[in-house]
Amino acid sequence: MLEDKDFIKSCDVPGPTKEAIRAILLYKSEVTFTDKVVDCGCGTGGITCEFSQRAGEVISIDTNPEAIEVTSRNLKKFGLGDNVTLISDDGANALKDIDDIDIAVVGGSGRQLENILDIVDSKLNSKGRILITAILVDTKVEAVNKLKSLGYNPKLMEVNISNGRILDRGVLMISENPIAIITAKKR
C-alpha cells in the first residue's frame, strides 16, 4: 500500500482517500490484473494509484482539471500511470464513451450520482463491481436506494478509523472522518 503522507496534495482537491479505506476498497473490489477499472471523481488519485498497481487498465475522471493534474503528478511520483487514462470531464458525460467496465469506483459525483449509476449499470460487465465512497448521510441513502432500484443487493459498511499518535506519556488516538463504503455486484 502507498502511504498517505507520500501523496502530493492540493488545497483545491480533496484527498487522498485514507490508506485504510483504500485497503478496504481494494479487497471489496476483488480486483485482478485483467480488470478494467473506472475511478469517477479521482481527486488526488489516491484510489487511482492503488488500482493502477493491481488492475489491467484504469480510467480516471474528474470535473476539476486541477484534480486531473494532481492525479497525474502522483502517478508519476509513484512510477505508475502506464495503464491509466485521465479524463477531465463530468463523470456522467465521460462514462458514455466507456464500455466493458469490471470495477466502477465512485468517489465523487456532485449531484449526478443517480445519473452516473444508471450509466455505470449499463456499461458494467456481468460480475462487475460498483464501489461508492460517501461522507454525506444523504449520499449514502441515495446510493443504496438507487442500487436497489437497479436490481442490486447493495451492502453498506460505515468505517471509523483511529490512528495512534505515539507521545512520551502514551498513545493518543486520533480519529479520521467516518466514511461509508457502499458496494454492489452485478449478477
Interface residue list for ligand SAH (CB under 6 A): 13-17, 40-47, 61-64, 67, 90-91, 107-110, 112
Among residues 126, 124, 117, 130, which one has the least CA distance to residue 181? 130
Q: CB of residue 68 vs ligand SAH: minimum separation in angstroms?
A: 9
Nine-digit cell string for 11: 488545497
State which residue, 14 or 154, has the beta carbon closest to ligand SAH. 14
State which residue, 111 or 187, has the beta carbon closest to ligand SAH. 111
Cβ partners under 8 Å of residue 91, min gap 6: 40, 41, 61, 63, 106, 108, 109, 112, 116
Q: CB of residue 148 vs ligand SAH: minimum separation in angstroms?
A: 21
Among residues 159, 186, 182, which one has the least CA distance to residue 20? 159
Q: Judge if the upstream peptide bond of residue 178 is cis by omega within 30 degrees of 0.
A: no
Distance CA 12, CA 155 (A): 31
180 in the Ramachandran plot: left (φ > 0), alpha (ψ -120 to 50) or beta?
beta
Q: CB nearest ligand SAH: which residue?
A: 108
State which residue, 85 or 153, has the beta carbon closest to ligand SAH. 85
Cβ neighbours around 10 below 10 Å, total: 16
State which residue, 24 or 47, has the beta carbon closest to ligand SAH. 47
Q: CB of residue 106 vs ligand SAH: minimum separation in angstroms?
A: 9
For cell 460480475, name the residue.
127
Q: CB of residue 122 vs ligand SAH: minimum separation in angstroms?
A: 17
Identity of the residue numbered 5: K
State which residue, 46 or 81, has the beta carbon closest to ligand SAH. 46
Q: CB of residue 152 vs ligand SAH: minimum separation in angstroms?
A: 20
